[in-house]
Structure 1
Amino acid sequence: MTVSTAVTTLGTLYVYGITPAGVAGPRTAGVAGAPVRLLTESGLCAVVSTPPERLRPRRRDLAAHQAVLAELAGQGPLLPMRFAVVSPDSEALRAQLRGDRRTLLRQLDGVRDCVEMNLKGTVVPGYFAQLVRRDEHLGALAARARRSPDYQTNVRLGEALARGVRGEARRAARQVLARLAPLARRTAAGQVDDDQVLSTSFLLRAADERRFRDAVADQARVYGDRLALSVTGPLPCYSFVDPRPTPAGR
């Protein structure tokens, strides 16, 4: 979890992620330039560094966090932590690895050879002409606005068009999800609003990334007049793990 400011205490460990035991320690420098090291317990590794006194989501530290995760992900399954996740001290973290060992190993197995791809879809605001032709109510409003272009009629027409455009984009988003979900092992829905009507993460086998991108491109060709699609990834599998160390500042 990203936080704007967090104060750490002596002995606190900044946690990047959890891997099976046996990985090589990252050579990449960590947050605030700190050396990254491995804390091994019960067949698991927590990848940690000493945090700065105050954690802030500065660009260079966010980039360092991501670079450490990228190096780890190249070695095998990884349970990534979001920026600014800390553990009180090494003993607390070791105890957590021991206590949650079965759950963590199961999660690692669940993301083995996988990547996360995030798909967002936003409303295309200009999808008007087809709506007016198909919808009798909109057609009548548009005709009235042309005959008598008064303020209230224009407002009602604008509101009705906006609702119609959002509705078309939401319907397209449902069709896109129905087409793409079978390509994934799992999906996780994100937050949506009136403009961003689709936000979903897909857990894919790494080997299926190209196939997924091609399928997204196909859907963009079908629905691009009403729904603008964008893909981010491959990402660490943030949306498909349940890491337990405490976000700093909580």
Structure 2
Amino acid sequence: MSTYVYGITASSHPPPAEGTGGVGEPPRAVRVLTEGALAALVSDAPEGLRPEDRELLAHEQVIAEASAAGCVLPLRFGSLAPDDRAVTGVLAERAEHYTERLRALEGRVEYRLAAGRRSGGDDAALRRALEPEAEDATVGTDAGGRLADVAFLVERTAAERFLAAVERVRRDLPHLDVRVDGPLPPYSFVEPGPAEPAAPRP
């Protein structure tokens, strides 16, 4: 049976509460695989998993609950590995990378912004206003007629300053419909992990 991977954390991270359920119906029990100083939050993968609201929420809830106790590198919905051994094998192989990412993302959250576009300079103006309040940023794909979605990595203690900067953008660029989503786990700042997203089913 395949292994479903929610995220990666330190082996010293508190385990999920007894009875924590993840994806699947009934929810599959969340468990911990440990390899050296690292651990992965996993469950058995249900057959025919689809990105339905209930499943997406279950995935996000596992990560949110674990993140409340310390840094977790979240993997995107549908991350599967052939079995438990494949997960621990990649944890061992990429231990240095994951350990560095855990250090870099400790105490950080992600905010995602998107906005309608009226002029070519709006994208640069938006980033110029917000990047000083963030530690990192990644730009998504431009979806016709909108500014490219931008994810900002923000220290938790700086969240209020970042949101105040968003409000200044709304005031200074009133023609933009600026939308912000967050705080979120830092999905956009974790490189591919020990699993690939499940292929969408027709």
How high is the TM-score relative to the length of structure 2? 0.92
Is 191-200 or 74-83 further displaced after alignment?
191-200
Partner of residue 114 from structure 1, selected from 102, 108, 128: 108
- Distance between the aligned counterparts of 2:148 and 2:165, measured in 1? 16
- Distance between the aligned counterparts of 1:52 and 1:40, measured in 2? 22
SS in 2 for 1:175: helix
The match for 2:163 is 213
The match for 1:25 is 15
The match for 1:236 is 185
Higher Rg of the two aligned structures: 1
SS in 1 for 2:115: strand
Deviations 1:197-216 (A, max 9, x none): 14100001011111111110
- Distance between the aligned counterparts of 1:44 and 1:204, measured in 2? 24
Aligned-pair CA distance for 1:30: 0.3
- Counterpart residue identity of residue 237, structure 1: P
Q: How does 1:1-250 map to 2 (within 5 A)?
A: 10=1, 12-27=2-17, 28-32=20-24, 33-123=27-117, 166=118, 168=119, 170-224=120-174, 226-244=175-193, 245-249=195-199
**Bigger proportion of residues as helix:** 1
Deviations 1:150-183 (A, max 9, x none): xxxxxxxxxxxxxxxx3x2x31231121111111
C-alpha RMSD over aligned residues: 1.4
SS in 1 for 2:113: strand
How high is the TM-score relative to the length of structure 1? 0.75
SS in 2 for 1:196: coil
- Counterpart residue identity of residue 125, structure 2: Q
- Distance between the aligned counterparts of 1:56 and 1:196, measured in 2? 28
Structure 1 unmatched runs, 5+: 1-9, 124-165
Structure 2 unmatched runs, 5+: none
Identity %: 35
The match for 1:126 is none
- Distance between the aligned counterparts of 1:193 and 1:94, measured in 2? 37
SS in 1 for 2:177: strand
- Aligned residue pairs, count: 195
SS in 2 for 1:228: coil
